[in-house]
Structure 1
Amino acid sequence: MKHDKFPGHVGRTVAESTPWWPTSRNHKQQKPNIVVVVLDDTGWADFGCFGSEINTPTIDRLAARGLRYTNFHVTPLCSPTRTCLLTGRNHHAVGMRFLSDTDTGFPNSRGSIDRDVALLPAMLREQGYGSYLVGKWHLTPSHEISPAGPYHNWPLGRGFDRFYGFLPGCTDQMTPELCEDNHQVDREFPQNYHLTEDLVDRAISYVRDHTVFRDEEPFFLQLAFGATHAPFQAPRSFIEPYVDVFAKGWDATRQDRLLRQKALGIAPEETELAPRNEEVSAWNTLSDDQKLLYTHLQAAYAGFLEHTDLHLGRLVDELARLGELDNTLIIVLSDNGASREGGKDGAVDTNAPYSGLPQSVDEQLKRLDQIGTRHGGAHYPQGWAMAGNTPFRRYKQHVDLGGVRSPMVVSWPGGIAATGEVRTQFSHVIDLAPTIMSLAGLDHPLPCDGRSLASTFADADAPAPRSTQYWENLGHRAIWHEGWRAVTEHRQGDAYEDDDWRLYDTEGDFSESQDCAGQEPDLLKELIGRWWQEAEANNVLPLDDRTLVQLLRARPPIGLMSRDRLVFRPGQSHVPISSMIAGSERSMVVTASFRDRAAGEDGVLVSSGDAQGGYVLYVMDGRLSFEHVQLGHRVVCVADAVLPSGTCEAGFALHNRNGHSAEIVLLHGRRRVGAARIPVTAAHLSFWGIDVGTDAADRVSSAYPADFAYPKRSFETLTIDFLDQPLIEDVAEAMESTE
């Protein structure tokens, strides 16, 4: 047999042959390791090195020996920003106009990145890199997040070698639904568990393994924290010190932060504070109770961020210990601006606004000591989100700077000589992939909308990589071109040609506080025309100003949520919260079927959610029992007869009433054996999905021990029959809150 391409020689025997091995190349000497740290919903002004009162010594240390980019931009939402980061493409152009949860039926919003688009980890892998994702993904359509996949839009299907984290947009920090590679993770969550600590542990583990087993090759690690997306959860020792710090309120905080930003050189001396967002009250007009609650909620956010920074420090220290830090490019950014989704009053329990049932200040004050704990995952009021985005206006979901200006810190001791310097070039998240690829030795391997920022590492006066960038979200639009930015906040239902555009000279007006539209009408007209050109070129059309509620109503019939009947079996995998069937907002009949059931068999038949919010059907002392808990309202219903032995059926019927209440009826077959009224139901009960035959998380009821699994010997099936279409508005409101 001939081996024409074999450099050695193949004879009839080994003695007559010459072996050959490829020459080993030490890629690490030529290419840096890459670590991209993505924080969630963190405002431009929330890092200490960007003017905050919050302690972020790890990020500040990286900035002190690297660079801060003060004119860096993202999109107003997480899925689009993560798409831009991993492709170098504008998100509309590759199918991710909005969230991965939603497929509108148009090419620009399929809920996943187009399959023919290569992602950064896959491109780096071809350059000899190991590629690892730890933390949030949120680029898989909801109906594909299941124990059976399909997996082509999971991280390993898009180029990562290993993955550990969560697939949806957010999760509870103390009882998260986790996945590893292509499977769900079954694990216990001790009282001291925290997701941030777990993610950093896994990131360190991946890096250690890589340096041992692939020591001549570089690595790419994307560490995407759940922080600082709500729910805010951290040890109380991190939260309590900030209560006094933020008692001054959000107006004074904004003023103080801008002064520090000027002193730090990240905001020009002439920068003005953008006017207070019109929906936010002046701090001095609030009641004492409001101030007390709001201050504690902001303290929870601050403690959450400091806790995250502390554990990020463990990763940085480990890189140093392994001798990898000097040759590692570390980029830290936020996926969008701070979020106003806590509403006017915020929440001691994030499940309240996510359920569409915000609680009053008086109700929340009774639970101040729970803020940040397992049962008090918090969210701050919108006024604190405004402060997080100092000195800009608006928030996440908007294309004003409060939604799209992100703090970015870049550190690479072995490759960037400058330390503690500021870079002011206009840049955007689509510029990061080509930057990274250029450092990996491959310039623009595929169509790429961004351009490399590498020239700015050494030269503070290097030109911006591009002259134009557009934005669009929910019909809100903006465009930057050669130092000018035009912005419009669209009102749903209005004709787009009637939108009121503003115009800002970004080189002389850092905070976009002075509208120049009246003075420069021709320039504004030119920029609006240029926006339409960019929209055509990047697949932004059709423009769509539908709310998330309306988008969900129009989505195709896919996934578990579209089915009228679901049949589960004990021992099967966990049903994730992203299935959108774990709530109690739909009328349904749940039936457990038994064969040869023996007397004395007790256990959980089905549980949905956890102790923060959920429902459970179980048998105890031979009697069928149902419990439902939501926002402090616990309902317990116990059957008035013992469950029969032998072959039988048992379950409950839940009849949803107008509003958020329901009637629950316990059933032995068709016989009614108990009834109760549920005062509060919701599409979002908690951040945990459904378990059949067990209560696997923070158990819904304290009436039984541990997971209280029902014996599989006789328990055959668990059937859920939905009696009507889901209240899609409630589901959509819950999803909008979580994003």
Structure 2
Amino acid sequence: MKKLILLFSLSVTLLSCGKEAAQKTEDTSAKKPNILLLVGDDIAFGDLGTYGSEIKTPNMDRLANHGVRFTNFHVSPVCSVTRSMLFTGCNNIEIGLGAFDYSVYPPTRGKPGYETYLTKNAVAMSELFNDAGYDVYKVGKWHLGGEAAGGFGPLGWGFTKEFGILSGGSNHWNDLAMTPDFSKPNGLNEKRKEHWTLNGEHYDRPSGVYSGELYTNQMLQFIKEGQKSDKPWFAYMAFTTAHFPIQAPPELIMKYYPKYLELGYAGLKKARYESLKKQGLISHSAVEAPENSLTHKWNKLSKKEKEKQAKIMATYAAMIEDQDNRIGQMLDHLKASGELDNTLVVYLTDNGPEGFEPTHPKTGNPEMAKWVETQFDGSFEAIGTANSENTIGVSWANAATGGLQWWKWFIGEGGIRVPMMIVPPGAFNSKHQLAGKTTNAVVSVKDIPMTILEYANIKHPQTNYKGRKVVAPSGVSIKPFLDGKSDIVRTEDDWYAFELFGNSYIMSGNYKAIKVRTGMFGDGKWHLYNVVNDPSETKDLQADQPERFKKMLALYKGYAEKNHLMEVADDWNPFKGASE
């Protein structure tokens, strides 16, 4: 009898354990995914090792090997405009970023759509994640409002914890700003401090700690604190590398110096073009981008100038390598804590490389040049330190893009086509069907929030958010493509248009119609390119495909009229008085 009771008890226990195990499995599978959104700053399409670069990025290689690498991903040509679309899925003009704080066409001031900060016309995905019970973290730069210009900081957009700067960049070693205070009478003769915050309160930024280390440690602290509550989290890691000032940990700099001294500007551009083409990251039918008239000739530089330029570019490479190391820190922590397998990881950069060069005769800023000359150490030895204020300039920026034309500020492919990788939940520990795949599917930055929300099973409210009228997003989800249910992300009917500084383009499938004003070194006329087959935008197709060209221009005209886009004078130059 005792044996029967014991066996019965054991059976009940085993059955109970089985139910608990099944319940645990069910709970795990039903658990909401974490989101790790990584954004690099001013990094070119050809800058990452996994995108054909000589710069070593083994942790980004991990993302590419486990996820999907996109080679026709488009953003805006400047930082805050991209970030507005990244968080809302909307067009920039609909949500206040028809201009941005560092450069405003004077007649647009005060006009709807040109506020220069993210307006409440939109709902940000951070708000929706907050509503869904997520911890929502932001670390790094914000650049969507909250300072004197208006708008709101991260805590006003659903973030539960935040750390970093509200502006577009800062010194990487201390609490100094990256630009002078142009509004002060004595602003060019002094350095100013950047505004740092931790959860909305003033933060005394320590000197001597590199930005990548400071930001990463704080993000890891947020994540570790959140793990105690067992809530899912959305983490927005907005690096300030490789934004100017060009500064980096000294131990990483000189390893790239000999290569850049040997190659020079044109040599690096050619080497990257050939690498991109060989690895299938640009079409095998692609041709080299033509020489850009704004760039400098390497052979015209003195030996001393070449050495300085090579070290500046080596420091830029070190900034990217440091960013890769920091991403590795985060991936390693998530793996050790058992959360990596339930995390969606997205990496992108906000625009092409920064070509701003204070002393450049056509795109420079004399006031900024004076400030740099008088307030910082311009020596070879100081490059990369806290007391240096260098930029890579037009020539290295042009070289960094490899087979593409132009750079940040411009809507040529070099300014708007950037690296983007997505690793779906579970792909690190199990073989994803698209693991290691490289795709030339055309994707917009507006598609990222729609993709992230779908993975989290969060529905967008479309036009009404808690009684607030908002713009419905025009981004589309990439998830069906990642799930193998579709071969494309956007059909030709899923077109999108863009305008900034009076320069315009529209994408429909693989085709891009583009017009650049003469004030920004274009010819003021529309051109048509297949940017998948012709990433250097050298073969104008409007004569070969007049119907397509006509249709795309009509679509753009409708977009411009609907959004009340203002005309910009042909000769206006946004660089005068601009610093980013």
Same fold (TM over 0.5): yes
**Equivalenced residues, count:** 515
CA distance in 2, matches of 1:172, 1:545: 34
CA distance in 2, matches of 1:292, 1:46: 21
Matched, 1:357 2:381: no
2:440 to 424, 436, 439: 424
2:124 to 110, 119, 134: 119
Residues 382-393 of structure 1 aligned to structure 2 (within 5 Å): 382-393=394-405
What is the aligned partner in structure 1 of residue 426 from structure 2?
Answer: 414
1:180 to 192, 198, 208: 198
What is the aligned partner in structure 2 of residue 502 from structure 1?
Answer: 527
Q: Is the 8 A contact 1:27 1:218 kept in 2?
A: no
Secondary structure at the counterpart of residue 240 of structure 1: helix
What is the aligned partner in structure 2 of residue 484 from structure 1?
Answer: 511
- C-alpha deviation, 1:264, in angstroms: 2.2
Matched, 1:262 2:277: yes
Matched, 1:223 2:237: yes
Q: Is the 8 A contact 2:59 2:325 kept in 1?
A: yes
Provide Cα deviations, 1:668-687, integer angstroms capped at 9, x if missing partner.
xxxxxxxxxxxxxxxxxxxx
CA distance in 2, matches of 1:405, 1:241: 27
Q: Percent identity?
A: 29
**Structure 1 pair 289/502, CA: closer, same or farther in 2 (3 Å)?**
farther
Matched, 1:106 2:115: no
- C-alpha deviation, 1:141, in angstroms: 5.3
CA distance in 2, matches of 1:357, 1:28: 59
- C-alpha deviation, 1:529, in angstroms: 2.1
Provide Cα deviations, 1:449-486, integer angstroms capped at 9, x if missing partner.
10100012133962223531112111111111132211
Residues 357-376 of structure 1 aligned to structure 2 (within 5 Å): 357=370, 367-376=379-388
- C-alpha deviation, 1:70, in angstroms: 0.5
- C-alpha deviation, 1:73, in angstroms: 0.5
What is the aligned partner in structure 1 of residue 456 from structure 2?
Answer: 440
CA distance in 2, matches of 1:468, 1:174: 42
Matched, 1:379 2:395: no
- C-alpha deviation, 1:225, in angstroms: 0.7
**Structure 1 pair 549/175, CA: closer, same or farther in 2 (3 Å)?**
farther
What is the aligned partner in structure 2 of residue 312 from structure 1?
Answer: 327
Report 1 or 2 for greater relative contact order, CA contacts < 8 Å, sequence distance ≥ 6: 2
CA distance in 2, matches of 1:163, 1:297: 31
CA distance in 2, matches of 1:335, 1:547: 27
What is the aligned partner in structure 1 of residue 143 from structure 2?
Answer: 138
CA distance in 2, matches of 1:519, 1:394: 25
CA distance in 2, matches of 1:187, 1:298: 27
- C-alpha deviation, 1:97, in angstroms: 1.1
Q: Is the 8 A contact 2:91 2:498 kept in 1?
A: no
**Structure 1 pair 371/345, CA: closer, same or farther in 2 (3 Å)?**
farther
Letter in 2 for 1:113: L
2:560 to 497, 512, 535: 535
Letter in 1 for 2:441: Q
Letter in 2 for 1:167: L
Structure 1, gaps ≥5 residues long = 1-22, 146-151, 551-731
Matched, 1:158 2:157: yes
Letter in 2 for 1:514: K
- C-alpha deviation, 1:128, in angstroms: 2.2
CA distance in 1, matches of 2:157, 2:130: 11
1:241 to 250, 255, 264: 255
Q: Is the 8 A contact 2:271 2:402 kept in 1?
A: no
- C-alpha deviation, 1:228, in angstroms: 0.8
**Structure 1 pair 366/212, CA: closer, same or farther in 2 (3 Å)?**
closer
Larger Rg: 1 or 2? Answer: 1
Matched, 1:46 2:55: no
What is the aligned partner in structure 2 of residue 94 from structure 1?
Answer: 95
1:475 to 489, 497, 502: 502
- C-alpha deviation, 1:212, in angstroms: 1.2
Residues 695-706 of structure 1 aligned to structure 2 (within 5 Å): none
- C-alpha deviation, 1:426, in angstroms: 0.8
What is the aligned partner in structure 2 of residue 293 from structure 1?
Answer: 308
What is the aligned partner in structure 2 of residue 525 from structure 1?
Answer: 550
Secondary structure at the counterpart of residue 242 of structure 1: helix
CA distance in 2, matches of 1:325, 1:78: 28
Q: Is the 8 A contact 2:442 2:509 kept in 1?
A: no
Letter in 2 for 1:523: R
CA distance in 1, matches of 2:483, 2:564: 35
What is the aligned partner in structure 2 of residue 337 from structure 1?
Answer: 352
Structure 2, gaps ≥5 residues long = 1-22, 176-193, 463-471
**Structure 1 pair 517/333, CA: closer, same or farther in 2 (3 Å)?**
same
CA distance in 1, matches of 2:545, 2:218: 53
Secondary structure at the counterpart of residue 403 of structure 1: helix
Q: Is the 8 A contact 1:234 1:300 kept in 2?
A: yes
Q: Is the 8 A contact 1:423 1:460 kept in 2?
A: no
Q: Is the 8 A contact 1:493 1:545 kept in 2?
A: no
Q: Is the 8 A contact 1:111 1:141 kept in 2?
A: no
Q: Is the 8 A contact 2:96 2:119 kept in 1?
A: yes
Q: Is the 8 A contact 1:343 1:382 kept in 2?
A: no
What is the aligned partner in structure 1 of residue 568 from structure 2?
Answer: 544
- C-alpha deviation, 1:518, in angstroms: 3.8
**Structure 1 pair 418/523, CA: closer, same or farther in 2 (3 Å)?**
closer
Q: Is the 8 A contact 1:434 1:450 kept in 2?
A: yes
CA distance in 2, matches of 1:44, 1:460: 27
**Structure 1 pair 540/164, CA: closer, same or farther in 2 (3 Å)?**
farther
Letter in 2 for 1:107: P
Provide Cα deviations, 1:390-417, integer angstroms capped at 9, x if missing partner.
2111111111111111110112350544
Secondary structure at the counterpart of residue 186 of structure 1: coil
Per the normalisation by structure 1, the TM-score is 0.65
2:212 to 196, 202, 226: 196
Letter in 2 for 1:231: P
**Structure 1 pair 37/366, CA: closer, same or farther in 2 (3 Å)?**
closer
Letter in 2 for 1:544: V
**Structure 1 pair 210/243, CA: closer, same or farther in 2 (3 Å)?**
same
1:450 to 452, 475, 499: 475
**Structure 1 pair 523/200, CA: closer, same or farther in 2 (3 Å)?**
same
Provide Cα deviations, 1:582-612, integer angstroms capped at 9, x if missing partner.
xxxxxxxxxxxxxxxxxxxxxxxxxxxxxxx
RMSD (CA atoms):
2.9
**Structure 1 pair 33/261, CA: closer, same or farther in 2 (3 Å)?**
same
- C-alpha deviation, 1:39, in angstroms: 0.9
Secondary structure at the counterpart of residue 529 of structure 2: strand
- C-alpha deviation, 1:378, in angstroms: 2.2
CA distance in 2, matches of 1:334, 1:733: 25
Per the normalisation by structure 2, the TM-score is 0.82
Q: Is the 8 A contact 1:83 1:113 kept in 2?
A: yes
Q: Is the 8 A contact 2:146 2:166 kept in 1?
A: no
Q: Is the 8 A contact 1:355 1:733 kept in 2?
A: no
